[in-house]
Structure 1
Amino acid sequence: MVRVEARKNQRMQDGGVHAVQEEPLTMAEEPIPWEEVQLYAERPESLTCIASDLPPPLKEELVQCLIHNRDVFAWSIEELLGVKPEVAEHKLHLLPDARPVKQKKRNFSADQNKIIRAEVDQLRKAGHVREVQFPAWLSNVVLVPQTLKETQKLVGRIISLSRFISRSADRASPFFKVLRKASKFKWDEECTRAFEELKKYLEALPSLFKPVVEEPLWVYLSATPEVVGVVLVKEQDNVQWSVYFFNHLLKGVESRYTTLENLVYGLVLMARRLRPYFLAHPIMIMTNSTMGRALTNIEMAGRLIKWATELGEYDIQYQPRTAIKAQALADILTKIHQTNSEETWKVYVDGSTTHQGSGVGVLLISPQGDILQLVVRLNFHATNNEAEYEALLAGLQVARHVEAARVIIYSDSQLVTHQVAGNFVVNCDKLQVYREAYEKMEEEFVEVTVTKFPRAENEKADELAKITSSLTT
């Protein structure tokens, strides 16, 4: 920081500029207040700033000095007259024996030519470039893709290179979003950022390595609400090397899958694409989710049964994810939501008994809103209270499978909710066994709360239980 002291308030007789004395000052403890000074009365943009706490005589002297020398300021591009080469000069350091490369001339569309012409006119008016006639074309203009057709070409090229680009679907998602609105296509700032990041990534592509037959391969899985990503790696000298990248953009019903289903689905798609690899190598799935436990659970239902059967022909083992041994893989995996011990899961349970049989229904809702449904048909004819206890224990089992730490269980049975809370005495030996089983399972959680819930508001779990109890064997 310097203090400018004007010695004179007018130019010297020889036309020289004011002499200015500079002396260093220590940093102020508080910010110095500033005020604006307009150097040209007829030009509102001609503003500069000076310290507002200067003594009035010194302030006036400084203002007059700035106004007197205002011709050294530039307020527009056209007023930038350039810098003398002896002050600063930009040079391209080229090899003197390098052979010039002649590019093939490209033809641009009318819209592209309009954009290029406007940019060149600005540079020409500012005096930064000048027109030169050459007998041959030297180089082409590089234009960022900002039209529907160019964006479609860009996405097609990304897809064709997807096995070499980590998180390719994630990187291309801004382009997919604008393409979905083809009738109202508009290249936005998000597309520009994604395009620039893609160019930086392509400048240093990671290397892919060929695996040796029968050596184990590791699979890392990732999932977001829009994309699932998988990377296949091999290990050599305690370092992991990428073998194959795979990404899939979720669409339609796939976008409503739970996080667990997304991870399993990504593994299934990878196995279909790289079936020879999965048949020729032991596969280690590195994940901190409950995928391995879910796929080996005999009570799983729905699409998980189909996927588990499809994966059953391969030699697949599930291991908890530890520290990634390859730094290059850090950017490959998109962020996955990990179970947080402070988050609470909701479990709605209900039991049903009919003359055809007994069954329970469980509705599990994650802190992020993911929904899991489970139905269990009991292999014995239970009483209503026994069916309600079975539903309670089934709900705890499901919560344990997803590694939930805090659970709120909603049941419409007044007897069960009060007995597990200690408000009602258990007089039946069979129900006492259920009560003890509940207390044992409760110890595996940080917190379990059982709440009485009106039957009218527990329709989904009640419906699941009734469907299961009505099934005939």
Structure 2
Amino acid sequence: MRFNPEKCTFGVKAGKFLCFFLTERGIEANPDKCRAFFDYPTPKSKKSIQTLNGMLTSMARFVAKSAQHALPLFKLLRKETTFEWTEECEGALQHLKRALSEPPVLTRPVEGEKLYLYLAVASEAISAVLIRETEQGQKPVYFVSRALQGPEFRYLQIEKTALAVIMAARKLRYYFLAHSIIIRTDQPVKQLLARPDMVGRMLKWSLELAEFDISFESRKALKAQVLADFVAEMTTSTTSEKNKWTIFVDGSSNSQGSGAGIILENEDGVLIEVSLGLSFPTTNNQAEYEAFLAGLRLAEDMGAEEIRIFTDSQLVASQVSGEYQTKEERLLEYLNLIRAKLAKFKGTEVKHVPREHNARADVLSKLASTRRKKAGNQSLIQETLTKPSIEKTAEVMHICAVDEQSWMSPVYNFLKSNTLPVDAKEAAKIRKRACSYVLLDDKLYRRGFSIPLLKCVEEARVEFILQEIHEGINGQHIGGRSLARKALRAGYYWPTMQNDARDHVLKCDKCQRHGDMHLAPANELKTMISPWSFAW
């Protein structure tokens, strides 16, 4: 390999690289490109709009919320739209020219440094900015944004926020892999992505983010002047308003089954819908109480402090408020449990509303009660309650939940008590591994693709599970690879599944006695000299 001396430069403090300027301060935009964009005349046709958008795309990393500001220009490129330059388009162009007249200097992160991600969610676009926090203040690293398309316009606000995180993780993948990312947002994205009962795209996004070291914290103010255009994802409400939630609940019981519908909404417009299926026989009043309790549990998970609950059941609303007496023992147990949960909140209000004002929750409850495996219920969260909430579980004393020598021990201890090794590298590895696991009822589960949750198995139970699958009552003495796949489909997981399954098959006496024997001797392959087939 030879280098062309005329194209090589050594020992310089600044230089042009990949159409950007690298200086001691950081990465700067190419002045020639900025000048060309600033001097670009008012577009007269769709072709000139395409040229303008191409110039903007090459410098989008320097412009905060570039897609949101360029939306009027994007709309002119639609096939069904006739070209018409409006004041809105002119205002968008002038704003982008002002932004590129003094573009920010993007800094280079230091190895091992924590980076912070801020999100901005609009009705038609999502944006994110990756920043560093230094002694000199907050420094931008990268701006990303894109316009929403097709069905994304109909996403709930919380889903758009999660989509903004996914967009940033895909476009800034190498930053996410090399650094710990702290997402600053006031939206309950962390609570929703961590729930094991998520369905559809939220479950897919949760699995996609599992490989990164991501944590969440409350949003703080952006202090840097260059980031002033990058506002919060929603209008900031006061602290007291953030924890106020309105809950609509409804229960349904019919011959096909029972279900409950829950809708949570806060002052910032965050909307969460839950479709809860009840897999045990209930009356309609019990279903209403289960819906009420499910709403309280979800509000508690979201960190609500003040709640207003609306239900279309006159009986439930009056019994909870104390207007009606409760004589039935089973409903009395539900009522005592509800009052105990209501006492955990700072402020509560329970109201009865007509059925027409609670229509959406009613639809969710009916979807849950009539849901089948391939039904079209696309609510944000789908749960199945296997037993009544008032049923008391047997108390079992765990001597030791996980053996300290088990492969699960580091992840289990981190999720249980936030315990990490002293070694920084090992601690970082465990943090990343723990993103793929979840702790439920003191049991460790791994997030899967075909199956949402896989139960983690200790080494002592591996042999028993493989033996039952391989030669149990339904065993077919399958091969090692098929045996590992079948154990995975059965809902089990451990890291050495493939090797353990192969070793188990090699030790099986019946497989060795009656398995197919390959009698052909091992010979080297011989090449054919014929120029074409059958040319001998």
Q: Name the residue aligned to 2:63.
A: 165
Quickly say closer, same or farther: Cα 1:472–1:375, change in 2 above 3 A. closer
Distance 1:375 1:339 in 2: 29
1:192 paired with 2:103, answer no
What per-residue deviation string (whole Å, max 9, x for no partner) do you get for residues 422-464 of structure 1? Answer: 1211223443332233334435254423214338964413323
The counterpart of 2:350, out of the listed 431, 434, 449, is: 449
Distance 2:136 2:335 in 1: 50
Compute the TM-score of the two structures, normalised by the length of structure 1: 0.62
Equivalent pairs counted in the alignment come to: 333
Distance 1:336 1:369 in 2: 9
Contact 1:377–1:469 (Cα < 8 Å) also in 2: no
The counterpart of 1:322, out of the listed 210, 220, 223, is: 220
The counterpart of 2:199, out of the listed 274, 280, 301, is: 301
What per-residue deviation string (whole Å, max 9, x for no partner) do you get for residues 36-64 of structure 1? Answer: xxxxxxxxxxxxxxxxxxxxxxxxxxxxx
1:156 paired with 2:59, answer no
Distance 1:146 1:293 in 2: 49
Amino acid at match of 2:366: E
Residue 152 of structure 1 deviates from its aligned partner by 2.0
Quickly say closer, same or farther: Cα 1:457–1:283, change in 2 above 3 A. closer
Residue 309 of structure 1 deviates from its aligned partner by 1.4
Q: Name the residue aligned to 1:226.
A: 124
Contact 1:219–1:231 (Cα < 8 Å) also in 2: yes
Alignment of 1:65-464 (within 5 A): 143-180=41-78, 183-237=81-135, 239-333=137-231, 335-338=233-236, 347-353=247-253, 358-364=258-264, 371-378=271-278, 380-401=280-301, 408-443=308-343, 444=345, 446-454=347-355, 458=359, 459-464=362-367
Quickly say closer, same or farther: Cα 1:360–1:472, change in 2 above 3 A. closer
3-state SS in 1 of match to 2:70: helix
| Larger Rg, first or second structure (1 or 2) | 1
3-state SS in 2 of match to 1:312: helix
Quickly say closer, same or farther: Cα 1:218–1:447, change in 2 above 3 A. same
Residue 372 of structure 1 deviates from its aligned partner by 3.3
What per-residue deviation string (whole Å, max 9, x for no partner) do you get for residues 352-391 of structure 1? Answer: 4467764322234566876532122346544432221110
Quickly say closer, same or farther: Cα 1:240–1:258, change in 2 above 3 A. same
Quickly say closer, same or farther: Cα 1:392–1:142, change in 2 above 3 A. closer
Compute the TM-score of the two structures, normalised by the length of structure 2: 0.56
Structure 1: segments with no counterpart, 5+ residues? 1-140
Distance 2:346 2:41 in 1: 58
Distance 2:366 2:254 in 1: 13
Identical-pair percentage: 37
What per-residue deviation string (whole Å, max 9, x for no partner) do you get for residues 6-64 of structure 1? Answer: xxxxxxxxxxxxxxxxxxxxxxxxxxxxxxxxxxxxxxxxxxxxxxxxxxxxxxxxxxx
Amino acid at match of 2:140: S
Quickly say closer, same or farther: Cα 1:308–1:338, change in 2 above 3 A. farther
What per-residue deviation string (whole Å, max 9, x for no partner) do you get for residues 74-122 of structure 1? Answer: xxxxxxxxxxxxxxxxxxxxxxxxxxxxxxxxxxxxxxxxxxxxxxxxx
3-state SS in 2 of match to 1:333: coil
Structure 2: segments with no counterpart, 5+ residues? 1-38, 374-383, 387-536
Amino acid at match of 1:461: L
3-state SS in 2 of match to 1:323: coil
Distance 1:278 1:179 in 2: 33
Distance 1:175 1:448 in 2: 47
Distance 1:218 1:177 in 2: 32
Residue 207 of structure 1 deviates from its aligned partner by 0.8
Residue 304 of structure 1 deviates from its aligned partner by 1.6
Q: Name the residue aligned to 2:414.
A: none
Deviates more, 1:259-268 or 1:334-343: 334-343
Distance 2:75 2:306 in 1: 37
Residue 271 of structure 1 deviates from its aligned partner by 0.9
Distance 1:200 1:227 in 2: 20
Residue 299 of structure 1 deviates from its aligned partner by 3.8
Amino acid at match of 2:53: V
What per-residue deviation string (whole Å, max 9, x for no partner) do you get for residues 113-172 of structure 1? Answer: xxxxxxxxxxxxxxxxxxxxxxxxxxxx97322332212211222122212211110121
Contact 2:67–2:146 (Cα < 8 Å) also in 1: yes
Q: Name the residue aligned to 1:114.
A: none
Distance 1:247 1:331 in 2: 13
Distance 1:197 1:455 in 2: 46
3-state SS in 2 of match to 1:184: coil
Residue 335 of structure 1 deviates from its aligned partner by 4.9
Contact 1:358–1:469 (Cα < 8 Å) also in 2: no
Residue 257 of structure 1 deviates from its aligned partner by 1.1
Contact 2:176–2:213 (Cα < 8 Å) also in 1: yes
Q: Name the residue aligned to 1:465.
A: 368
Q: Name the residue aligned to 1:10.
A: none
Distance 1:332 1:263 in 2: 15
Contact 2:259–2:365 (Cα < 8 Å) also in 1: no
CA RMSD of aligned residues (A): 3.2
Distance 1:456 1:208 in 2: 51
Amino acid at match of 1:419: Q
Amino acid at match of 2:364: A
Distance 1:348 1:267 in 2: 28
Alignment of 1:16-95 (within 5 A): none
